[in-house]
Amino acid sequence: MKRTVLISGSTAIDQTGFYAGDFAEYESGYSINALNVSFQLREMQTSFGGCAPNIAWGLTQLGITAIPLSSAGRNFRDRYLDHLVAHGIDTSYIAINDDSDNCASCMMINDEHGNQIIGFYPGPGSPDRKLPSEISEINDVALAILGPEMPNLALAQARDLSAVNVPMIFDPGQVISEYQRAEIVELLSLADILIVNDYEYSVLQKNSGLTPGKIIELVAEVVVTHGANGVEIITQEGIIHVDALPDVRIVDVTGCGDAFRAGYTCGILEDLNPLGRGQFGCIMAMLNLTTPQTQNYKTSLSEIRSLQRKYYG
């Protein structure tokens, strides 16, 4: 059975600030004019991120070969390259653009309740970046994840994957606001699964003009994450709800969605039903939540199975 996953998306060096308070309390105490706000931060961190390496990190923990398909700026060479190589993640298809100083960057401010204010720079493209069918391992790929990319690139990759019969997950993420109706319709038609959070799902519906009923006619499975309120998995047979794990001590919310996707994808390769996949995803998200930054948690497939029995029976 194939155990290789191709992950398209950004490679980012993230900047995360921590606000010792509650955004809602700040808003109630101070007038906000045209979104002009100023937060006094208690801490600032630089960390490795980007959807492609983040998901690859989680899959690698679970014994799955993960290949990021991405591009990066020159600062990728500073420390990030060595970090990925040291942890067994293939960097062969992260194309470095020497004309650009910086990788993609997600600039985040987190409050004490896990709420985030995010600014995202998608990073440079690269003329050396390959299409999926151009990588030498394409015949070993069981599944591809189309992470947040600009619509023209995502469409090119989806068409290419379809031509070589590789199943795919469409994960537009924070770039969903850039997609127009025709692009969304085509990508949903080419993909096998859509994964979004609840906010991204609302933007997708608004930009496409599609109702949830019409969306599920185009793609076989829709996975909508709701943070602490769990996950909805929608198929033509109905809706399955998976509870998030209770009483989780939040250390850092950054990258939880990517950890969830790694767990969910592993569940697909393990031939689990949608409920089991969602449980795997929620457990991985919990492990990420309780660990600083996005590529520090450690686990294994046997531990995930044990935690599944513990929390879900």
Dihedral over Cα of 277, 166, 300, 295: its sign: negative
How many C-beta atoms surround the C-beta of residue 123 within 10 A? 24
Residue pLDDT, tens place only, 16-27: 888 888 888 777
Asked if residues 173 and 54 have their Cβ atoms less than 8 Å apart, the reply is no
pLDDT score of 32 more than 70 = no
What is the DSSP code string of 39-90?
--EEEEEEEEE-HHHHHHHHHHHTT-EEEEEEEE-GGGGTTHHHHHHHTT--
Residue whose tokens read 């799902």? 201
At residue 174's C-alpha, the angle toward residues 298 and 14, to 5°, is: 50
Structure tokens at 69: 């398909």
Task: Please report the domains of the chain, with CATH numbers, ordered by start residue.
Answer: 4-312 (3.40.1190.20)
Give ∠ CA 280-283-285 in degrees, rounded to 5: 110
pLDDT at 21 (0 to 100): 87
pLDDT at 264: 98
Mean pLDDT calculated for residue range 41-49:
88
Q: pLDDT tens digit string along 75-106?
A: 999 989 999 999 999 999 999 999 999 998 87
Mean pLDDT on 306-310: 97
Q: Which two tokens stand for residue 181?
A: 């109706």
Q: Report whether pLDDT(225) > 70.
A: yes
Tell me the two tokens of residue 167: 């199943």
Q: Is the dihedral angle over the CA atoms 247, 25, 110, 267 positive or is it negative?
A: positive
pLDDT of residue 31: 65
Interatomic CA distance for residues 252 and 290, integer angstroms? 7
DSSP symbol at 125: -
- C-alpha distances (whole Å) from 137 to each of 5, 22, 92, 278 are 10, 47, 11, 28
Query: What one-character DSSP code corresponds to residue 210?
Result: -
How many whole angstroms separate alpha carbon 227 and alpha carbon 200?
Answer: 13
Q: Is the pLDDT reported for residue 262 higher than 90?
A: yes
What CA–CA distance (Å, rounded) separates 14 from 7?
19
The answer to whether residues 66 and 88 touch, using CB atoms and an 8 Å cutoff, is: no
Stated as kind and residue range, the H or E segment containing 28 is: helix 23-29
Average pLDDT, rounded, for the chain: 93
Q: Radius of gyration of the chain from Cα atoms?
A: 19
pLDDT, tens digit (0-9, with 9 covering 90-100), for 142-184? 999 999 999 999 999 999 999 999 999 999 998 999 999 999 9
Q: Cα-Cα-Cα-Cα dihedral of 140, 283, 146, 232, to 10°?
A: 120
pTM of the model as a whole: 0.89
Contact between residue 164 and residue 140 where contact means Cβ atoms under 8 Å apart: no
Q: Across the beta sheet with 41-49, what order do the strands follow?
A: 41-49, 12-19, 105-110, 116-121
